[in-house]
Structure 1
């Protein structure tokens, strides 16, 4: 037993070979070197990340500040005038209602302006109150509603008809009917009301005129709230 202990003590006390010590020191220097490289790499990555994120923010702010300048350069006088003209077209219209008076059985409907109007140089009502004159060439939407009412017996059967007629300076001849509405009604009571509505889209030239004729002029309801019952509306129409 004593011999074994002495051998172990002799082994433990033997010095480490010089070659092994040099190898250990070399490995240790390599570990330190790689650790330094890793730390330096991590630091470089962090620095690059910070600089990268700070740079786009500056660019974004500059872009936001420059955008209004570009818009102001594009919005010149021509652009403003075009927008004003488009807005003017959209809001331009004329609304007419039938005049009161003693009329014959057939003839042209006399009109008067009803409510607030915004012509903007598109329409004018002639002095005869029967002709609506077009001042600008273009496409127009024309709407007509006439309300008739009975005041006496007509054998129970009445034929109603009204026409929107087109007069043009470009040709000589009779007016051209744009819209015609016809209806036969049978009433058992002499007191009745009937509204007839027609509408269309037409291309009109400068100085063209629109007139409405009816075979029952004396039966047009020009009483209370006639502005809602009998109306003639025209406005510029633009397809989308």
Structure 2
């Protein structure tokens, strides 16, 4: 089964783009027809030639889907702020119709699409409309990306519980940027997160200094996504959720 998943984070800068790109490329290498989408990107500069490259271009480069950039990233805003705030400063509003139309178009081009949200699950897109509402409108389950450092237990549990409280299915968690020599917090947090949330940590992606977003270089993250079994575990969790079972221990 080819998954469509909304990928959110416990905060901004936790590794959503790296995980989304690596997972998309890994799934494509495993024979799945996957597209990628960054519906709303903030903090990108506009030049006389257009928008400067950002996370959306990295997703496109690593995944090699070949889709037009206006479908992959239909809304861009210059201010590095929450979409609703960045749009207000620009004297506009996020065009949700355009976002959803682009998503529907990508779904006609691919069997599944990985959607990378902006910031965390409660980040506002418009007044009284946030990332959770967009995930619901797309009717997609969530994959949560978290950081490994101290504090991640609280951030991850809050994200998972909020998502479930508003009716979203959470497939699991990927921890991004695990140091080569993890400290006590990094070593113990994954098990604590699983116990507190009842959700599986599907993988702990190592920190990779070779990642270069500007050049579209994923380092070894794609190979890790396959070799670690993380990509397959995501597929398995999606299949269970699609069949109506959210707990692989008790299908």
TM class, shorter-chain normalised?
Answer: under 0.3
User: If you compute each CA radius of gyration, which structure gives the higher value, 1 or 2?
Assistant: 1
Q: What TM-score do you get using the length of structure 1 for normalisation?
A: 0.26
TM-score (norm 2): 0.25
Q: More strand per residue: 1 or 2? A: 1
